[in-house]
């Protein structure tokens, strides 16, 4: 369920990251190549990006499919950022369908996207109170964003409480990216001008590599680091 992507590096336009790649998020909204759960991601989308000097990132979210957003397609070539997080959504059965249920979710100036599913009953009451929506991904985001520096341990604890959960997460704060691979695919591409983390490669560049399941990926000034979690 869902596909997402994050970028950290030199400024790139939203169009270059999301719309123009042959197998980018736009294409993944109707024809993902590696998605094992669900077939299309037409239940909403969202993009968030950080602008230097601004206290909080910008977000653009919508409840419809990305391919139907003519306004975003016209604006995306004109917006460039060095830190971007975006997602297309395949909603779980019974979850709300409005844009508040679409990633990325926001708390304390940080963005988070969840690709997967989780039993909301295992999440603490405080997360329900702080969540932007009652959907499982929003409640999970509120819980994980309470302490972003403890992302790996928190994901592992949620996974232990709900063994059927799929907990691929992307987190961005403008200066670094954090990601977990837990139950679904995650790939990384290191370019000369930055790093891409994505549910699946957006092109056939041989530089893409798959992240091992149950791993935490950290991208920042020190490069890319992958460490095991919950093992």
What CATH number does the domain located at 3-228 have? 3.60.20.10
Instruction: Name 82's Cβ contacts closer than 8 Å, sequence gap at least 6.
Output: 7, 8, 9, 10, 11, 12, 50, 194
Whether the CA torsion 63, 94, 139, 83 is positive or negative: it is: negative
Angle (nearest 5°) at CA 173 between 107 and 162: 60
Q: Domain locations in the chain?
A: 3-228
Each of the 231 residues of the chain gets a pLDDT tens digit; together they read 699 999 999 999 999 999 999 999 999 999 999 999 888 999 999 999 999 999 999 999 999 999 999 999 999 999 999 999 999 998 877 677 789 999 999 999 999 999 999 999 999 999 999 999 999 999 999 999 999 999 999 999 999 999 999 999 999 999 999 999 999 999 999 999 999 999 999 999 999 999 999 999 999 998 999 999 987
Dist. CA 211–CA 79, nearest whole Å: 29
Q: Let me know: does 29 contact 73? Beta carbons within 8 Å.
A: no
* Closest residue by Cα to residue 188 from 66, 15, 6, 61: 6
What is the pairing mode between strands 177-181 and 166-172? antiparallel
Q: Burial of 129 by CB count in 10 Å (0-12 exposed, 13-18 middle, 19+ buried)?
A: exposed
Using left for φ > 0, alpha for ψ between -120 and 50, and beta otherwise, residue 2 falls in: left
Query: Catalytic site residues?
Result: 2
């Amino acid at each position: 369920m869902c596909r997402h992507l994050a970028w950290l590096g030199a400024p790139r336009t939203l169009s270059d990251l999301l719309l123009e790649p042959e197998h980018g998020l736009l294409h993944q909204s109707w024809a993902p190549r590696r998605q094992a759960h669900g077939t299309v991601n037409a239940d909403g989308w969202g993009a968030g990006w950080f602008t230097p000097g601004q206290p909080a990132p910008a977000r653009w979210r919508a409840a419809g499919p990305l391919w139907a957003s003519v306004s975003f397609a016209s604006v995306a070539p004109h917006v460039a950022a060095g830190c971007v997080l975006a997602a297309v959504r395949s909603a779980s059965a019974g979850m709300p369908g409005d844009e508040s249920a679409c990633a990325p979710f926001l708390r304390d100036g940080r963005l988070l996207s969840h690709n997967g599913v989780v039993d909301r009953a295992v999440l603490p009451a405080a997360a329900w109170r702080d969540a932007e929506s009652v959907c499982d991904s929003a409640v999970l985001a509120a819980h994980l964003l309470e302490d972003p520096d403890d992302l790996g341990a928190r994901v592992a604890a949620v996974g232990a409480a709900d063994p059927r959960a799929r907990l691929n997460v992307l987190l961005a704060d403008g200066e670094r990216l954090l990601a977990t691979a837990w139950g679904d695919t995650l790939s990384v591409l290191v370019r000369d001008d930055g790093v891409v983390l994505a549910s699946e490669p957006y092109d056939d560049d041989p530089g893409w590599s798959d992240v091992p399941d149950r791993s935490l990926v950290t991208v920042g000034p020190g490069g890319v680091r992958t460490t095991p979690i919950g093992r």
